[in-house]
Structure formats: structure tokens, C-alpha cells
A and B are shown apart, each in its own frame.
Chain A
Amino acid sequence: MTKSYLTPLWDWKAWLFTTDHKRIGILYALTITLFFIVGAAGAAIIRFALLSSHASLVSAELYNKAFTAHGVVMVWFFLIPSIPATLGNFLLPLMIGADDLSFPRLNLLSWYLFIAGALITLTALFIGGVDTGWTFYTPYSTMFSNSYVELAVTGVIVAGFSSILTGLNFIVTTHMKRAEGMTWMKLPLFVWSLYATSLILVLATPVLAITLFALIIERAFHIGIFDPSLGGDPLLFQHFFWFYSHPAVYIMILPGMGVVSELIAAYARRPVFGYKMIAYSSMAIGILGFFLWGHHMFVAGQSAYASMAFSILSFLIGIPSAIKVFNWVATLYKGEITLDAPMLYALGFVGLFTVGGLTGFFLAALAVDVHLHDTFFVIAHFHFIMVGGMLMAYLGGLHFWWPKITGRLYPKRLARWAAVILFVGFNITFFPQFILGYMGMPRRYAEYPDHLLWLNWISSAGTLLLALGYLLPLVYLVRSLKSGSPATDNPWDARGLEWQTTSPPPKENFLKPPVIPSHPYPYDQKAPS
């Protein structure tokens, strides 16, 4: 038997100084799980606080700090690195038949930068917290907040450099390290989506970094870059912030779309329907996603004409998204479907993403957004994309590739139950928030009008089920490491190159060169033996 990349397993030096993309992927997975728990704790405080309409359970101060912590940690230290840095790191070289990324040491540096950034920000959150919201709007964040804004923002900047380096690494790897015969039109759709994601990481993150740097300077020295009383323009901060943060939404969802394309093909046992359309639509989302940021500013005092331009551009992003949903559903047609946990997550993704995407139309529609902006409708909308979409895809992908990563099988029945529980819990938690928003409950409200109490209770109750949906996989996946039955090289009879090597793969990924199929997703052919 060949030595897997996991040996030696318990040598900490072999982990902390590794340049193996698979080990780095695992490092990311462990750390973001930790940060997810921190972020979830923030969410728990929020939902607990909102059981009362008069801030009688949690003080307004703690509440403000809780939603800021929740946002900052979840966005920058969970969602952004989630799929790209874990599954992406692990799978990208395997999927294109390479031995590693183009720059393995840079990859390790990315992880250290990420950890450094996370530690800095978490320090800020734990020594006193930040109360600005994750958006850090000026002049509140620069001239008025008495919390640890500089420190938190510094961590975000450092983590941003990690993002840029990861994106750079992925782009170069996709260009340079494809195995002989692995042409662009044979790339798995997950690789396409990672490429589009990397484009955003490389081109949007520097804008955030410099904007937040300017924010630190303004705050530390009380000199106006964005403060209107000193000649600055707070709307410029918002433009710059959203030039990053809107595309960042696609950093979070695009890799999820890639994972789902893999899962649906594997469990419908069919080549992906409309492969090219899905690939191109990923690129279209990656590029077009940059040009809609202004829909976060319809009521911010932005020019009405600019708002109209941003509105129509926002409607346009619906087209590539709809193309994806259309092709995913069409892939099921005449397939041979099994509903294992990964497939349940994938279908859950498609269903919830559809809801999340369509409610995006409400917010892109100018006059309607004037009513819904900054209400819980927005919260519900992006949680349908981020949690219902991204997180579902992440869990689905984690289950699907679990045998490849760990060499163990997960308990199938339990996993199906967990997926269903997560789906139900998610809807109970977040669907009422659409109604809350339309009824006029603003976001970031520690107290709210009494007549909104019931819906908030339903939402808070849903989180219990949601939490169970997260805890179950955490428990049984960890248990499977010891007690799960050993996995074969290709337990799902899947077709990606990663399934041609051993489970878990050897350090150099492939001991003999993988067989490149004649077309992507050859589920209509037998797997090469």
C-alpha cells in the first residue's frame, strides 16, 4: 500500500510546515470550523436577544457587538475562505491532474496570513468588541464608535492579502498545471467556478484593503478622508466598500455553484446538461458581479441616475444565475437519481438559491428597494444565498469528498437526516424574516415594535433545529474518522480525476498519470480502472 498524504499524522511540524495543498486544505477546514462556531455564537446571541422586543434579555450594547462579530467573522473568516480554501485547495490540483498548486509555499503563506488576520480580529472582538456592523460605515466607524475598530479592520486587511494570494495561486495553477490533454472545455465546473472566484479575489480585495487602510488612518489620526465635516465624502467609502463587498457575495456563492454541479452530475449519473453554458455563466457572474455594487446605495444619497444604471445591471445578473438553475434541473432529466446526503444538500441548494435569487429581484427593483432596504428582508435574502446556498454546498461537498479526504465513509442514513433537518430548520429560521422585512423591521435593531414579536419567535425557534443540523454532521463526521468503514478509491463511482487516485491520495496525488476522459463528466462511460 502507498503512503497517503496523511502520514505522518500526528507530527505537528509536518502540518505547520507543510506545502502540500491537501494538508493546507485541512488546516483551513479545521480553522474555519472554529471560526464558524464563533460566528454562530454571535448568531445565537442575536436570536436570543430578539425573543424580547424591548432588549430585556440582552443589552443593546451587547446586541450591537454580537451582530458585528457575527458578520465580520462569518463573512471574512468563514464564507470567503470556506469552499475555495478548503475544498478548492484540496481538489483543484487533483481535478486537473496536477501534483500541487503552482506556488505551494505561497499557499502556506496564505494560510498563515489568514490565521494572523483572524487572530487579530478575534482579539478585537474578545477584548471589548466592535459595534459598527460588518460594513464599517463612516463616519460612525471613524469618528464616533468607541470600540476596537482599528484592530478588527487590521485583521480583515491581513486576511485580505491571504485572499489575494490564494486567488493568484488558483489562477496560475489553472493555466499552468493542467495535465496533458486536460483542455479548458474538459475542466470540471468546480474548477471553472474557482477560476471565476479567483478573478474576484484578485481584483476586488485590493480595493477593500486600501479602503479599510484609509479608514484606519482617518480614525487613528482624526483626519478626514471620508468624514464630511473634514471635506470627505462618506458615499465614496460606500462605493469602495461595496466594490469589494458585492463581488464578495459571488466569492461566497460561485464555488458553491461549482460544487453543486459536481454533485448533481454524480448523483444523477449523467454528464452535466449544458456544460458550456454553466461554465460561461460562472465567468459571466464573476465579471458582471463587479458592476452592481450601487444597488446597496439606492437610498444612501446616490444620484438617481446612477441608481437606475445599477438597478438594470442588477437585473442582468439574474440571467447567468437562471441559466445555472435551468441546467442543473435539466441534468436530472433522464438521469438515474439517488438521494444520498450530498445530493440532498445539492438539491436543497438549488431550491434555496432560487428563492434567494428571486428575492434579489425585489431588492434590485428601485422603488421596492426603497421600502425594503436595510430591513430584515435583506437579511433573509442574503442568508438564503449564504446559508441556504453556500453552506449547503459546502456540507454537500464535504460529505461527497469525505472518503477521498479522510479515507473513511460517513454514516449515510444519519447524514440524510441531518441534511433534511438543516433544510427545515433553515426555512423556519429565515423565511419569517422576509415577512418581517416587508412589515418594516429594520436590521440591526435590538428593540422592535411589539407586533413583530411572533415572527421573531418563530425565527428564533428555527435556530434550534438549524443548530442541530450543524451539530449532527460535526459529530458523526468526527466519529467516522475513527469508526467509519474504510473507503475504496472511488466509492461513489464518480468520474472526476480525483477519484482515479487512492483514498486518501498519496502526497504526490497521482502515482501514475490519470486518464483524461474525452469529455467532461463521462457518466455515460465506465470509469477507467
Chain B
Amino acid sequence: MNAPLKRLTYIYFALLGLLALTVALSQVPLGTFAGPLALTIAALKAILVARDYMKLKTEPAGLQVIALAPLFWVGVFIALVWADVLMRGSVGIPGK
């Protein structure tokens, strides 16, 4: 196998390793940390796939910006929806 193929394979093993890790961690009582941890591992996997399999690493900067731009929108979308959901009723008055 040549070098690029080897690299793809290493990434594959890393992905499987992360999968095993997250499944194993799900069997440990981690309380409130379970969610953030599982999502962090998922994000790591996603980064590996995007960076190497989707070849973002070697694309020109302009394309990288376009590829990652939607994450900014998603971030604000999530933040502002949560700003409502989490704070609802927080002034101690029904419906405010």
C-alpha cells in the first residue's frame, strides 16, 4: 500500500477506536458529563472524516471557509434557541 492509502487506513483505525471509546464510556455512569463527552467524541470523528476523507485539509482557503461557514450559522441558531428554552420561566413568572 502506498503512503496516502496507508494514511486513510490509519484514520479509519482512529475512527473505530473513537467509536469503541464512546460506546465504552456510555456504560460508565458519568452523570451530566456523558452528553458533552459523547458529542465531543462525535465531533472529533466528524473532524477526522472532513479533514482527511473529504480532503478539506488540502483544499484552498476559500473553499475551506465555504465548507465550514454553515457551522457558524448552526452555532448561532443553537445558541439563540437555547437562550429561549433554557431561560424560560427564569424570572419566576409564568411565561416570561
Contacts and interface: CB of A to CB of B under 8 A. Distances in A.
B96 A306 contact: no
Given A203-B70, A239-B81, A301-B95, A306 B76 contact: no
B90 A291 contact: no
A302 B80 CA distance: 11
A306 B83 contact: yes
A81 interface: no
Chain B interface size band reads: 10 to 19
Nearest to A239: B81
Contacts of A235: 84
B91 A304 contact: yes
Interface of A: 175, 203, 207, 235-236, 239, 243, 290-291, 293-294, 297, 301-306, 309-310
B93 to A, nearest CB: 8
Contacts of A239: 81, 84
B70 A303 contact: no
A303 B84 CA distance: 5
B77 interface: yes
Contact of A305 (B70, B76, B81, B87): B87
A417 B36 CA distance: 64
A296 to B, nearest CB: 12
A59 B90 CA distance: 44
Contacts of A297: 84
A290 B70 CA distance: 12
19 contacts: A203-B70, A203-B73, A235-B84, A236-B81, A239-B84, A290-B73, A291-B80, A302-B84, A303-B84, A303-B87, A304-B91, A305-B83, A305-B87, A305-B90, A305-B91, A306-B80, A306-B87, A309-B80, A309-B83
Contacts of B96: 303-304
Nearest to B81: A239
Given A301-B95, A304-B96, A294 B80 contact: yes
A305 B82 CA distance: 11
A306 B73 contact: no
Nearest to A206: B70
Contacts, number: 46
B81 A303 contact: no
Interface in B58-96: 62, 70, 73, 76-77, 80-81, 83-91, 95-96
A303 B80 contact: no
Contacts of A309: 80, 83
Interface string B33-73: 00000000000000000000000000000100000001001
A390 to B, nearest CB: 24
Contacts of A310: 80
A310 B81 CA distance: 11
Nearest to A303: B87
Contacts of A203: 70, 73
Interface in B16-34: none
Contacts of A306: 80, 83-84, 87
A303 B77 contact: no
B77 A243 contact: yes
Contacts of B89: 303
Nearest to A307: B84
Contacts of B62: 175
A426 B23 CA distance: 63
B88 A302 contact: yes
A302 B89 CA distance: 9
A207 B77 CA distance: 10
A504 B85 CA distance: 55
Given A290-B73, A301-B95, 16 more contacts: A236-B85, A243-B77, A291-B76, A301-B88, A302-B88, A303-B83, A303-B85, A303-B86, A303-B88, A303-B89, A305-B83, A305-B87, A305-B90, A305-B91, A306-B80, A306-B84
Contacts of B70: 203
B84 A294 contact: yes
Contacts of B86: 303
Indicate the member of B76, B77, B81, B84 with the most A CB atoms within 10 Å. Answer: B84
A419 B77 CA distance: 41
Contacts of B84: 235, 239, 294, 297, 302-303, 306
B29 to A, nearest CB: 27
Contacts of A305: 83, 87, 90-91
A293 B89 CA distance: 20
Contacts of B87: 303-306
A121 to B, nearest CB: 27
Contacts of A294: 80, 84
A332 to B, nearest CB: 36
Contacts of B90: 303, 305
A432 B70 CA distance: 42
A491 to B, nearest CB: 38
Contacts of A236: 81, 85
B78 to A, nearest CB: 11
A412 B51 CA distance: 58
A203 B68 CA distance: 12
Contacts of A243: 77
A169 to B, nearest CB: 15
Contacts of A290: 73, 76-77
Instruction: Point out which of A293, A303, A310 has the most chain B C-beta atoms below 10 A from its C-beta.
Output: A303
